[in-house]
Amino acid sequence: MNPTPLLEAHNVRKHFPGVQALDGVSLHVNAGEALAVVGENGAGKSTLMKIMAGIHRPDAGELRLDGQPLHLTGASDALRRGLVLIHQELNLAENLSVTANLFLGREEVRGGVLGWLDNRRMKAEAGGLLSRIGLDVRPDQRVSELPPGQRQMVEIARALAGNARLIIMDEPTSSLTQRETDRLYEVIDDLKRQGVAVVYISHRLDEVRRVADRVEVLRDGRNAGALSRDEISRDAMIRLMVGRDLKQLYPRRHAIRADAPVRLEVRNVTFVGGPTAPVSFKVRAGEIVGLAGLVGAGRTELAEALFGLRRLTGGEVRIEGRPVTIRSPVSAIAAGLLLAPEDRRRHGLVLTDSVQGNFALPNFDQLTTAGLLGWVVFSREKQLARDLTNRLHVRASSTRQIVGQLSGGNQQKVVLGKWLARKPRVVIFDEPTRGVDVGARSEIYALMDELAAAGVAVVMISSDLEEILGMSDRVLVLHEGRLTGELPRSALSQEAVMHLATGGAPTESSAAESPRPSGEQA
């Protein structure tokens, strides 16, 4: 006998200007169960979740809670009924403390305004929540001081603060460390034992396999299929998501010529907020160098220093053999070095501008140096936007669509497209495929490969080991800000990278000084 589901969605439809985001989707989740929802970027996952959390109202269709029709009047209505959404885009009040954030929006639920709550009790409760998820921050610390992973954990702690019956996690692990992710799995198991229902959205299919009791696949705003626990496999999910088998995710990399010129040379560099030990490495034309390490190892900081977002305190950076002085992103770009940043909502995009506008931003000189009249510039801008949108398969109703309205993964593609339109010498990608679906992933990899083939030096920071192994000609590993080793392609393995990333001493092959030409073996 099947129990009455905790929450059901029946034939839900939702239209946004220019796009039918949901085209008759049905879904149910039972108490004590983890349901994963997967699908390509723009499939409608977040939209459906926002409907279940009272943020959007459906155009048609129905929700049911405990078998009874449910008409949510808003997010706080949903919260009162125990339906909690942890957003894909972080949603914290940055200038408030961790404690304040944990209780924010719950005043109603708790029958008092924030100020009425006993400060000490609140702090104690906050402490309890933080230790429950194993997060080591002070309750009075400001959220703006925390790195993205810890902010995400605060969001998760906040969801636990109420008497949740359903917790929806929309890509919760995209900025978590492995340890935090493991802790999250334990929290989910715990919630299930207490009869809480969990909806889990992720593009990382190995996570889905770990967490889900059942998988529901969405495609183009419709149900594409469902998998029960013993049917869940990577291939089965991909087949339903993309509608075909995806044979090769990573492009076949070509061997790097040993005499390829060095494009980027970092010599004994130190920088503000960096490690005391200076960092040195080289990247040759046509090479893709993976920068691996645990979250917090200092990879993003290093990239920021090279891109002029952090002040260098020593050492030298050379591009194509010439020493360059990089004081700001403008001088980095002028020197031919680009960074596609990790925190794209903050650094990568103008969310209120259109797709076209965002593509054009960093290319302004390229578009205007032709010295043409405004309308010509405009039409070139339009052409460029169309080309990039097609090349990257950006799912937008038109190039005039506001970027803030695109799905998370499609925003990432716009950031990448923005940089690719330039003719860079060196490109640093920081977590290029975070939140990006498998189909788009293979396109981003193909683009990286294309850049390398055109002689660009590519540095790829990634926490996704599979991606590091799949794409890199050579891997540099950072541990606590220091380069702890270097692995040529022939010595690459998950174990070898993890060994160095966790501070293990380099073995013989990982101590190799100069880049070796990489073979075709993969």
Contact present, 298 and 147 (Cβ < 8 Å): no
- Pick the closer one to ligand ATP by CB: 286 or 417: 417
- Pick the closer one to ligand ATP by CB: 177 or 407: 407
Contact present, 233 and 211 (Cβ < 8 Å): no
**Position with the least CB separation from Mg ion:** 46
Contacting ligand ATP (CB under 6 A), which of 5, 39, 439, 515? 39
User: Distance between CA atoms of 24 and 63, rounded to whole angstroms?
Assistant: 12
User: Distance between CA atoms of 210 and 200, rounded to whole angstroms?
Assistant: 11
Distances 131 to 67, 94, 126, 194 between C-alpha atoms, Å: 35, 21, 9, 18
Question: Does residue 466 sit in helix, strand or coil?
Answer: helix
Please give the residues from 425 up to 484 whose contact with ligand ATP meets the rule CB under 6 A. Answer: 437
Please give the residues from 396 up to 415 whose contact with ligand ATP meets the rule CB under 6 A. Answer: 405-410
Q: How far is the CB of 364 from Mg ion (least distance, A)?
A: 30
Contact present, 409 and 440 (Cβ < 8 Å): yes
394 binding ligand ATP? (CB under 6 A): no
58 binding ligand ATP? (CB under 6 A): no
Instruction: Please give the distance of CA 483 from its chain centroid, rounded to a whole number.
Output: 24
Q: What does the per-residue mask of binding to ligand ATP show for 70-89, with x meaning CB under 6 A?
A: ------------------x-
- The CA-CA-CA angle for residues 209, 212, 213, to 5°, reads 120
Two tokens, residue 390: 């097609």
- Pick the closer one to ligand ATP by CB: 33 or 437: 437
Contacting ligand ATP (CB under 6 A), which of 151, 204, 299, 395? 395
Residues lying near Mg ion in the complex (CB under 5 A): 46, 88, 408
- Pick the closer one to ligand ATP by CB: 196 or 403: 403
Helices (H), 15-166: 45-52, 75-80, 98-103, 107-110, 119-132, 148-161
Q: Which among ligand ATP, Mg ion, none contacts residue 44 (Cβ within 5 to 8 A by kind)?
A: ligand ATP
Contacting ligand ATP (CB under 6 A), which of 42, 139, 162, 424? 42
Q: How far is the CB of 196 from ligand ATP (least distance, A)?
A: 22
348 binding ligand ATP? (CB under 6 A): no
- Pick the closer one to ligand ATP by CB: 299 or 395: 395
Segment lying near ligand ATP (by CB under 6 A), choices 41-49, 120-128, 332-340, 513-521: 41-49
Contact present, 151 and 92 (Cβ < 8 Å): yes
The residue count of the chain comes to 522
User: Distance between CA atoms of 278 and 268, rounded to whole angstroms?
Assistant: 5
Contacting ligand ATP (CB under 6 A), which of 10, 13, 15, 16? 16
- Pick the closer one to Mg ion by CB: 137 or 218: 218
Q: How far is the CB of 375 from Mg ion (least distance, A)?
A: 37
Q: How far is the CB of 56 from ligand ATP (least distance, A)?
A: 8
389 binding ligand ATP? (CB under 6 A): no
Looking at residue 171, its amino acid is E
User: Distance between CA atoms of 349 and 352, rounded to whole angstroms?
Assistant: 9
- Nearest CA to 397 out of 14, 108, 19 is that of 19
Backbone angles phi, psi at 54, to 5 degrees: 75, 10
Contact present, 412 and 420 (Cβ < 8 Å): no
Distances 470 to 175, 253, 380, 439, 449 between C-alpha atoms, Å: 20, 9, 36, 15, 12
- Pick the closer one to Mg ion by CB: 203 or 263: 203
Contacting ligand ATP (CB under 6 A), which of 44, 139, 329, 417? 44
Q: How far is the CB of 447 from ligand ATP (least distance, A)?
A: 18
- Nearest CA to 210 out of 225, 192, 223 is that of 192
- Pick the closer one to Mg ion by CB: 408 or 439: 408
Instruction: Please give the distance of CA 39 from its chain centroid, rounded to a whole number.
Output: 15
User: Distance between CA atoms of 395 and 98, rounded to whole angstroms?
Assistant: 36
Contacting ligand ATP (CB under 6 A), which of 7, 12, 21, 135? 21
- Pick the closer one to Mg ion by CB: 8 or 170: 170
174 binding ligand ATP? (CB under 6 A): no
Residues that bind ligand ATP (CB under 6 A): 16, 19, 21, 39, 41-47, 88, 395, 405-410, 437
